[in-house]
């Protein structure tokens, strides 16, 4: 068995502009997904809006620079994730394809097991 | 055993047995890199063994047994080093029936949709056709370093993301098979119309594409689109002798000396198409092969059944709507109903982003205009096509047309 991180990306402006009802439906869909895939789920969270993100970098002199916003500026921002366990990539894709991801999609990344 | 004979037998085994031996060894190792080393090792041992004892009756089985034995040694060694649990050792005896499926598994792994198409094609040529990295690099006109990096990244993804070695289940088979067929088709078209340079046909790539399609057809005899792709390769490639004239310039289908077409290859392709159509298939490769078959039946360009071809394109547009198919349909329409109708069919394609830098759109328009006698407009369209075309042979054809229009 391997672990995969399923990263959920969405157009953050479209998400913020969405009606509250859409948010409620999305919540229900995630609950449903969680129930259907309980055996494979190892964790997961939703993230606060990308406007709350703070990025840290070091400049050429090694000084810490703190900036407002996501690490990379893109239309689609990371909005949440699931950690899943699956025997292979096909199985992982089959689970990830059920993750609700309106206004965006998901990325599947194998976890690198160290040591 | 003479040295030359052994070398010839080894070279032959590289060409025809590599994929078979590698797939069977991957089954034992579960890892492509380790399997490749073991297979390479087996080929190395074959040099001395075959020289002293003669070439075995079934070289593929011999190589597989040796490579698998080596793989088991490597795994045992690895297991004792890491004190991992004992390795479950597969049987060392090679049953060819089992190995057939191993190759099928490996094809689906190489052509997994999670890999970029250029990676899929490179992996298929390296792992299943036994081309060396430098041969694959040359085929796609990239440096050996670039190709080595591409192959390494691909194999790393298969290992680290755990792309499985398995034949897809029935319900996902059509989509996955389509990806495999697209990759093989790309190998063929890359070989048949090399995108750059002066050599129009790269025989080795065409041969490899045919070999892969034939293997797939042998393993999945009931999949009509596999038969369709194999037929398409036979029928298209049957013309290769006639495609370039004695001076090395491109001869269009309309100008080709049809007596130079390979009749045996055409018969092979036609039989495959007939069977697939009889089974009711409307897969895209079956239809493309059927269109090519109509051309191959015509004794001359003038006697081509263009209405039949337009009809086949109409069905193809339903199963596989794409701007390139629409462009080819427009060309067929221009012959069935005249260049005016052809221009009309092209009109909707002008703003198609997929055709923005596709030289064949401009050259089709140029041809229709030329046939209508609109010389100035035709010249402008040929100039446009010339600016977009990078194949030397195709370019010299466009220049010839331009010269003719100047007289």
User: What ipTM was estimated for this complex?
Assistant: 0.86
DSSP H or E stretch at residue B308: helix B306-319
Name the 3-class secondary structure at B60.
Answer: helix
**For residue A93, what is the domain's CATH number?**
3.30.70.1060
User: Residues of B with CB below 8 A from A110's CB?
Assistant: 160-162
| A64: pLDDT strictly greater than 90 | yes
Q: Confirm whether A67 is domain-assigned.
A: no
Q: Confirm whether A105 is domain-assigned.
A: yes
Interface of chain A toward chain B, CB-CB under 8 angstroms: 2, 87-90, 92-93, 108, 110, 112
Structure tokens at B381: 């369209």
Ramachandran angles phi, psi of A98, nearest 5°: -90, -5
| Residues B230 and B214: beta-carbon distance below 8 Å | yes
- Whether B161 sits inside 8 A of A110 (CB atoms) is yes
What's the whole-number mean pLDDT along residues B101-113? Answer: 91
Structure tokens at A5: 């991180």
| B156: pLDDT strictly greater than 90 | yes
Give domain limits for chain B: 3-94, 319-407
Number of domains in chain A: 1
Q: Confirm whether A86 is domain-assigned.
A: yes
Per-residue pLDDT band at A112 (split at 50, 70, 90): very high
| A67: pLDDT strictly greater than 90 | yes
- Whether A89 sits inside 8 A of B166 (CB atoms) is no
Q: Confirm whether A51 is domain-assigned.
A: no
DSSP letter, residue B29: H
The size of the A-B interface in CB pairs under 8 A is: 23
| Residues B296 and B308: beta-carbon distance below 8 Å | no
Return the pLDDT at B174.
86
pLDDT digits (tens, 9 = 90+) for B204-237: 788 889 989 999 999 899 999 999 999 999 999 9
What's the whole-number mean pLDDT along residues B34-46? Answer: 96
Structure tokens at B85: 């649990």
Least confident segment among A91-105, B56-70, B83-97, B245-259 = B83-97
- Whether A2 sits inside 8 A of B162 (CB atoms) is yes
Name the 3-class secondary structure at A56.
Answer: strand
Cα B275 from Cα B6, distance rounded (Å): 41
Of B162, B164, B168, the CB nearest to A110: B162
Please report which residue ranges of B114-223 form alpha helices under DSSP H. Answer: 117-123, 133-139, 144-160, 173-192, 203-219
Cα A42 from Cα A27, distance rounded (Å): 19
| B178: pLDDT strictly greater than 80 | yes
| B89: pLDDT strictly greater than 60 | no
User: Residues of B with CB below 8 A from A87's CB?
Assistant: 162, 164
Return the pLDDT at B93.
54
User: Residues of B with CB below 8 A from A89's CB?
Assistant: 112, 114, 161-164
Give the predicted TM-score (pTM) of the model. Answer: 0.82
User: Residues of A with CB below 8 A from B162's CB?
Assistant: 2, 87-89, 92, 110
Interface of B with A in 144-163 (CB under 8 A): 160-163
Q: Confirm whether A68 is domain-assigned.
A: no
Structure tokens at A100: 């609700």
CA angle, B90 then B92 then B94, to 5° = 110
Cα A86 from Cα A89, distance rounded (Å): 7
Q: Confirm whether A100 is domain-assigned.
A: yes
Of B226, B221, B266, B222, the residue nearest B242 (C-alpha): B266
Return the pLDDT at B331.
95
| A89: pLDDT strictly greater than 60 | yes
Q: Confirm whether A41 is domain-assigned.
A: yes
**What is the least distance, in Å, from the CA of B175 to any CA of chain A?**
14
Of A80, A99, A95, the residue nearest A12 (C-alpha): A80
What residues make up the domain containing A10?
Answer: 2-46+77-110
**CATH-assigned architecture of domain B319-407:** Alpha Horseshoe (1.25)
Return the pLDDT at B68.
94
Best to test chain B binding among A89, A94, A109, A111 (most B CBs inside 10 Å): A89
| B135: pLDDT strictly greater than 90 | no
| Residues B223 and B233: beta-carbon distance below 8 Å | no
Q: How far is CA B103 from CA A38, B165, B269, B393, in A?
A: 35, 10, 24, 37
- Whether A89 sits inside 8 A of B160 (CB atoms) is no
| B14: pLDDT strictly greater than 80 | yes
Q: Kindly report the average pLDDT of chain B as a whole number.
A: 89
Cα B67 from Cα B92, distance rounded (Å): 10
| B86: pLDDT strictly greater than 60 | no
- CATH classification code of B3-94: 1.10.1740
Q: Confirm whether A10 is domain-assigned.
A: yes
- Whether B163 sits inside 8 A of A110 (CB atoms) is no
Cα B129 from Cα B214, distance rounded (Å): 12
What's the whole-number mean pLDDT along residues B41-57? Answer: 94
Cα B346 from Cα B406, distance rounded (Å): 25
| A41: pLDDT strictly greater than 80 | yes
Cα B53 from Cα A42, distance rounded (Å): 57
pLDDT digits (tens, 9 = 90+) for B327-386: 999 999 999 999 999 999 999 898 888 887 788 899 999 999 999 999 999 999 999 999
Of A89, A108, A112, the CB nearest to B164: A89
Q: Kindly report the average pLDDT of chain A as a whole number.
A: 94
Best to test chain B binding among A4, A84, A90 (most B CBs inside 10 Å): A90
Q: Which residue has the higher pLDDT, B341 or B84?
A: B341
- Whether B164 sits inside 8 A of A93 (CB atoms) is no
């Amino acid at each position: 068995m391997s672990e995969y991180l399923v990263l959920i990306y969405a157009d953050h402006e479209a998400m913020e502009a969405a009606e509250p009802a859409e948010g409620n439906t999305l919540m229900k869909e995630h609950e449903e997904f969680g129930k259907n895939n309980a055996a494979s789920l190892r964790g997961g969270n939703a993230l606060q809006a990308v406007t709350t993100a703070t990025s840290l970098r070091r400049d050429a002199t090694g000084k810490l620079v703190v900036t407002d916003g996501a690490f990379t500026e893109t239309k689609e921002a990371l909005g949440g994730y699931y950690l899943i366990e699956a025997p292979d990539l096909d199985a992982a894709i089959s689970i990830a394809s059920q993750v609700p991801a309106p206004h965006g999609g998901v990325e599947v990344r194998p976890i690198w097991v160290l040591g | 055993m003479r040295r030359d004979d052994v070398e010839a037998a080894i070279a032959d085994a590289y060409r025809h047995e590599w994929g078979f031996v590698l797939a069977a060894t991957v089954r034992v190792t579960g890892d492509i890199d380790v399997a490749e080393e073991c297979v390479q090792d087996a080929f190395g041992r074959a040099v001395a063994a075959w020289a002293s004892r003669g070439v075995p009756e079934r070289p593929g089985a011999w190589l597989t047994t040796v490579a698998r034995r080596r793989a088991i040694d490597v795994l045992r060694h690895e297991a004792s080093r890491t004190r991992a649990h004992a390795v479950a050792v597969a049987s060392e005896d090679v049953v060819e029936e089992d190995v057939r499926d191993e190759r099928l598994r490996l094809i689906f792994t190489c052509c997994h949709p999670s890999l970029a198409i250029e990676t899929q094609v490179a992996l298929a040529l390296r792992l299943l056709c036994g081309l060396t990295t430098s041969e694959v690099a040359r085929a796609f006109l990239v440096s050996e370093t670039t190709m080595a990096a591409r192959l390494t990244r691909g194999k790393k993804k298969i290992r680290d993301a755990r792309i499985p070695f398995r034949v897809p289940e029935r319900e996902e088979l059509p989509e996955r098979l389509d990806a495999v067929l697209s990759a093989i088709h790309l190998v063929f078209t890359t070989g048949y119309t090399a995108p750059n340079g002066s050599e129009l046909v790269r025989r080795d790539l065409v041969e490899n594409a045919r070999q892969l399609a034939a293997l797939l057809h042998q393993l999945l005899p009931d999949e009509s689109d596999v038969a369709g792709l194999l037929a398409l390769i036979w029928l298209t490639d049957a013309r290769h002798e006639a495609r370039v004239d004695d001076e090395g310039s491109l001869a269009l289908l309309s100008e080709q000396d049809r007596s130079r077409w390979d009749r045996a290859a055409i018969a092979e392709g036609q039989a495959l198409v007939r069977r697939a159509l009889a089974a009711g298939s409307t897969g895209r490769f079956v239809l493309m092969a059927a269109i090519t078959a109509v051309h191959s039946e015509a004794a001359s360009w003038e006697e081509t059944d263009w209405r039949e071809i337009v009809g086949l394109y109409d069905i193809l547009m339903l199963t596989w709507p794409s701007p390139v198919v629409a462009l080819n349909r427009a060309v067929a329409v221009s012959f069935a109903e005249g260049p005016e109708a052809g221009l009309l069919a092209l009109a909707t394609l002008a703003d198609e982003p997929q055709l923005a830098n596709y030289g064949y759109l401009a050259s089709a328009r140029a041809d229709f205009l030329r046939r209508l006698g609109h010389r100035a407009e035709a010249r402008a369209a040929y100039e446009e096509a010339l600016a977009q075309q990078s194949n030397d042979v195709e370019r010299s054809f466009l220049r010839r047309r331009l010269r003719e229009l100047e007289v």
